[in-house]
Structure 1
Amino acid sequence: MSNTPTVVLVHGAFADASSFARVVTELLADGTQVLVPAVPNRSLAGDAAYVASVVRQIEGPVLLVGHSYGGAVITVAGREDNVVGLVYLAAYVLDEGESLGELQSRFPDSPLAGALVYTPFPVEGSDEPGTDVSVDISRFPEIFAADVDTVLTRALAVSQRPLAGAAFGEPASTAAWKDRPVWGIVASSDQAINPDVQRFGYERAQAKVTEVDSSHLVMHAHPAEVVQVIREALASVTV
């Protein structure tokens, strides 16, 4: 069994696994083992259970990295026995029993709140539809990725992975950061998650914090800074 952790990168809402492409390239060049699962984005409990199932099948330690809503997911999935650390990227860090909506409600809304689009989707076994939440395509570049190549952001805008609206009100069943080492990147020019929401969560989790003047998609805009924080975390948790 290897003592070097596998890095599991967990994407957030309105994005998919490809959002980590530039980070993955650098980590693989380092010889780091990496997995980037496709998160269903259907419910916090379900998404965390899926990521936890991926983690359980990895032999050896795991460093979980979560972006945005992916931060909430790793907060719950991080309870798996082989998780040795958590890295948050422009992310929500929930406490046990706390929901995304509750945490966000303590701070002024970001511009994202006025750019969300709500679309019904069929729910298997139910006559009532669910609600998918996405970002207005025309506003996606300015809100999500203002410092990312405009050609790329147009492609990202039309290939969003929506988040089911129910996930916003679902409380976290646990908070893995209470007994794991934590690192966090604040995207200080974030127009999607208020940077103060990020700072609050990181301070509560006693994270080692790095601030980057970045849009919400910090992995695209500043991959070198993201990779450096992951490398620091790996060095700290590798036995």
Structure 2
Amino acid sequence: MEGPIVLVGHSYGGAVISQAAEGNPKVKALVFVTALIPDVGEQISALAAKSTTSQLGPTNYTNADGSTGTQLTVNPDKFHDGFAADVPADLTRVIAAQQRPTDATVFSSVPTAAAWRTIPLWSLIARQDLALGADLERFEADRAHSKTVEVDSSHVPMFSQPNAVTDLILDAAKHTGR
């Protein structure tokens, strides 16, 4: 890819972009949209547990070999109110039906890099986020000295506040030095 790169991550994707950007001189900005921003050596589940408002929880399942695994998913009956309350109910029913559970073991991972420590970052905090929790998002943004925007949104502002998300990404892109 030519030119400067702006990486954008939502939810767990924040942990992914912070790790992936480490050592890549083309990455000039990171944008965290209601996202996790873990530090080096900080177990992701311990970071997520800092929220006092998150309503996400684990559920168990049985693997093909009979062993038990744990996944994180949102109960479809509670998806609208707990994950996307500001999105039309008919759309949240479709999103809930299409969600893919996340294996809970990803939350036991411990980042070996935190590119947000050296790359400028922007954060979007959703005041009504019941998935990660606005309290966690504020803590992370403050700790990272992020340029921050807050919106009245659920965990999915890309659906309910797409202009705010786009504006934040464009603001980050303006500051890439290109």
Cα separation, 1, equivalents of 2:66 and 2:85: 40
Cα separation, 1, equivalents of 2:89 and 2:11: 21
* CA apart distance, 1:131: 3.2
Secondary structure of the structure 1 residue equivalent to 2:92 = helix
Cα separation, 2, equivalents of 1:117 and 1:212: 30
Question: Which residue in 2 is equivalent to 1:94?
Answer: 38
- Answer yes or no: is the 8 Å Cα contact 1:117–1:136 preserved in 2: no
TM-score (norm 2): 0.92
- 1:70-219 map, 5 Å: 70-79=13-22, 80-113=24-57, 116-122=58-64, 128=67, 130-219=69-158
* CA apart distance, 1:95: 0.4
Q: 1:191 to 1:106 in 2, by over 3 A?
A: closer
Identity %: 38
Secondary structure of the structure 1 residue equivalent to 2:19 = helix
Deviations 1:81-102 (A, max 9, x none): 3211100011111000112211
* CA apart distance, 1:105: 2.6
Counterpart code for 2:135: D
| Runs of at least 4 residues off by over 6 Å | none
Q: Quote the RMSD (CA, aligned, Å).
A: 1.7
Q: Report which structure shows greater RCO (CA 8 Å, sep ≥6).
A: 2
- Answer yes or no: is the 8 Å Cα contact 2:53–2:135 preserved in 1: no
* CA apart distance, 1:128: 4.7
- Answer yes or no: is the 8 Å Cα contact 2:7–2:29 preserved in 1: yes
* CA apart distance, 1:78: 1.5
The unaligned stretches of length 5 or more in structure 2 are none
TM-score (norm 1): 0.69
* CA apart distance, 1:132: 2.9
Cα separation, 1, equivalents of 2:73 and 2:61: 8
